[in-house]
């Protein structure tokens, strides 16, 4: 039995042309070219609205924007530079969302890994390939992160009090220049990676 994996290839040339044309939709200019800038704009317009709800906990747009900015500044103060890769060893949680926006605001790419699913082999492979200067993780995955981290990699818990610190030097508060063509995240699947450009905002 043959399984057709590419449905578009079975279409006629006319239908393929229509598929491409109508599948793209109308193009529209957007005021923000970066994901985190679009988020911060919404946060400013709806500060008290609930942005994330998980396991009975909530965080508003304003709180999420502030928390991610604080974490971004902390990461920069530790030497993180634009286009570095930051591994997130997490599971679905509010700290995970804070970490994602913090990494984007720092001009870097996050490498998401599910700490409850990723095998030791996968974790060791990704950390070796990505060479992250920093790993952000939940408390329960700190030991695993340190076990497989490179010697020069810092392992930081997203549940430590420093994530909400506002005591930063002037240099750590600098604005990070991010280009729309810079990467946002890297996903490793079966030993390969996929880099997504930050030129498109979804949602």
DSSP β-ladder status, 50-54 and 154-157: unpaired
Closest C-alpha to 149, from 176, 120, 175, 177: 120
pLDDT at position 92 is 94
User: Residues 170, 145: contact at Cβ < 8 Å?
Assistant: no
pLDDT at position 2 is 39
pLDDT at position 167 is 56
With vertex at residue 201, the alpha carbon angle to CA 83 and CA 50, rounded to the nearest 5 degrees, is 100
DSSP string covering 13-55, please?
Answer: HHHHHHHHHHHH------S--SHHHHHHHHHHHSTTSEEEEET
pTM of the model: 0.76
pLDDT at position 202 is 31
pLDDT at position 203 is 29
Closest C-alpha to 72, from 179, 149, 176, 154: 176
pLDDT at position 21 is 80
pLDDT at position 3 is 40
For residue 153, count CB atoms less than 10 angstroms from its CB and return exposed for 0-12, middle for 13-18, buried for 19 or more.
Answer: middle
Report the alpha-carbon distance of residue 109 to residue 50 in Å, rounded.
26
Report the alpha-carbon distance of residue 192 to residue 97 in Å, rounded.
24
SS3 content of the chain, % helix, strand, coil (to 5): 40, 20, 40
User: Residues 187, 112: contact at Cβ < 8 Å?
Assistant: yes
User: Residues 84, 98: contact at Cβ < 8 Å?
Assistant: no
In the chain the domains, ranked by start, together with CATH numbers, are 29-163+170-197 (3.40.50.980)
pLDDT at position 18 is 83
Contact residues for 47 (Cβ-Cβ < 8 A; gap 6+):
60, 61, 62
* Tens digit of pLDDT at every position of the chain (203 positions): 334 444 555 788 888 888 888 777 777 777 878 888 889 999 999 999 999 999 999 999 999 999 999 999 889 989 998 899 999 999 999 999 999 999 999 999 999 999 999 999 999 999 999 999 999 999 999 999 999 999 999 999 999 887 656 555 444 445 677 777 778 888 887 544 444 444 333 32
């Amino acid at each position: 039995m043959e399984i057709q994996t590419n449905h578009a290839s079975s279409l006629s040339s006319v239908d393929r042309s229509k598929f491409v044309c109508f599948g793209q939709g109308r193009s529209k200019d957007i005021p923000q070219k970066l994901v985190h800038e679009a988020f911060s704009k919404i946060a400013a317009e709806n500060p008290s609205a609930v942005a994330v709800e998980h396991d009975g906990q909530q965080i508003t747009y304003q709180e999420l924007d502030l928390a991610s900015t604080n974490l971004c500044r902390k990461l920069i103060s530790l030497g993180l530079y634009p286009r570095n890769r930051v591994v997130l060893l997490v599971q679905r949680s509010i700290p995970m969302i804070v970490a994602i926006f913090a990494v984007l605001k720092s001009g870097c790419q996050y490498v998401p890994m599910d700490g409850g699913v990723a095998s030791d082999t996968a974790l060791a492979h990704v950390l070796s390939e990505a060479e992250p200067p920093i790993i952000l993780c939940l408390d329960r995955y700190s030991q695993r992160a340190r076990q497989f981290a490179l010697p020069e990699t810092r392992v930081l818990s997203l549940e430590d009090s420093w994530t909400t610190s506002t005591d930063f030097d002037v240099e750590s508060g600098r604005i990070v220049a991010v280009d729309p063509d810079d990467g946002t995240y890297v996903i490793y699947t079966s030993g390969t990676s996929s880099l997504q450009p930050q030129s498109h905002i979804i949602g």
